[in-house]
Amino acid sequence: MKRKKNKHNKKRNTAFLYEILVREITRSVVSEDREKERLALGICKDFFRKGSILRREKDIYDSLLSLGDVADDLAEKIMLEAKKDYEKIERKEVFNKQTKLVNRINKSLSSDTFSLFVQNYKDLATVSQILNQELMTKERVLLENNFLKNKREDVKEDMEPTDSLVYKTFVENFNKKYGSLLEEQKNLVTRHALSFSDNGLSLRVFLNEELVRLKGMMLEAKEFDYIKEDESMSEKVDDVYAILESFKEKEEIDQQSIYKLLEIQDLANELGEKESNAD
C-alpha cells in the first residue's frame, strides 16, 4: 500500500511565518505605508524577540538553511544537533504561539500576507520535513542528502540572493525620491533593507562608523570660510550636528530616520564639493 504523502502546512512552519513578515515589512516600507510597517514590525518583534520559543525554532531552521558552504562531515553533525535541539522544544507551546501569530497577522495585517512570494519556500518546507521526522527512515535519509546536495549547488551557481532583490527595490524607491544615490547612501539603504532579517545588527554596525564620519564632516564644515561668513549656514550645520548626536539615544532607526540620514549624507557631500571647488 502506497504511503500517503504529508501535506506541508505553511502556517505551521515558523521560518515561513518569519519570512512573510519580513517581506510584509519590506513591502510596506517601499510603498511608504507607515502604519502597516509599524504593525508588521511590532508583530515580528513580539513573536521573534531573542529568547522566544519561535525565535529558537527559527534559529534551528537557519542553521540547516546555511549548510550549503559547510563540509560534509560538519554538515551532518550540524543537522544531527539541529534535530536534537528541535526535539527539546515543547511542541504544544510552539503550536499555540503559531496560532496566536497567525491570528495576529490576519487581524492586524491581512490574510493576503500568507500569499506573499517566498523565494526559498521549497527549502523551508524540506527543512520542516527533516525536523519533524515524519518520513520513513529511507525517505528521510534521501531527503536530507538531496537537500544538502541542492544547497551546495545553490552556492556554486551563486544565485542572486533575495536580499539583493530587496536591496534593488529599495534603491529604485529611494532613487525616485532623491535621484541617484551616493555610494554611502546605497550602503545605508542596503543595511536598512537587511535590518529586518538580522535584527538591525548590520545597520547599527554601519551607523556607528557613518555617524562619526558625518559628525566629523560637520565639524570640518564649520571651519569653511563661506560657512563662517554666513550665520544662517553656520546655524544649519550646528542643527545637523545635533541631529546626528541624537541618534545615540535612538533605540530604533525608523523610516523617517533613514530619510533624514539620506538628506544629511547628501548635504555633507554637497558641502565637501563646494569647498573643493572653492579651492
Sign of CA dihedral 196, 200, 203, 205: negative
Phi, psi angle pair for 67, to nearest 5°: -85, -5
State which residues of the chain have pLDDT below 50.
1-4, 156-162
The pLDDT of residue 279 is 60
Domain range annotation of the chain: 10-157, 162-278
> Is this model's pTM higher than 0.75 or not?
no
The pLDDT of residue 214 is 93
Using the CB atoms, write b or e for 4-22: b if 16+ within 10 Å. Answer: eeeebebeebbbbbbbbbb
Three-state DSSP string of the chain: CCCCCCCCCHHHCHHHHHHHHHHHHHHHHHCCCHHHHHHHHHHHHHHHCCCCHHHHHHHHHHHHHCHHHCCHHHHHHHHHHHHHHHHHCCHHHHHHHHHHHHHHHHHHHCHHHHHCCCCCHHHHHHHHHHHHCCCCHHHHHHHHHHHHHHHHHHHHHCCCCHHHHHHHHHHHHHHHHHCCCCHHHHHHHHHHHHCCCCCCHHHHHHHHHHHHHHHHHHHHHCCCHHHHCCHHHHHHHHHHHHHHHHHHHCCCCCHHHHHHHHHHHHHHHHHHHHHHHHC
The pLDDT of residue 164 is 52
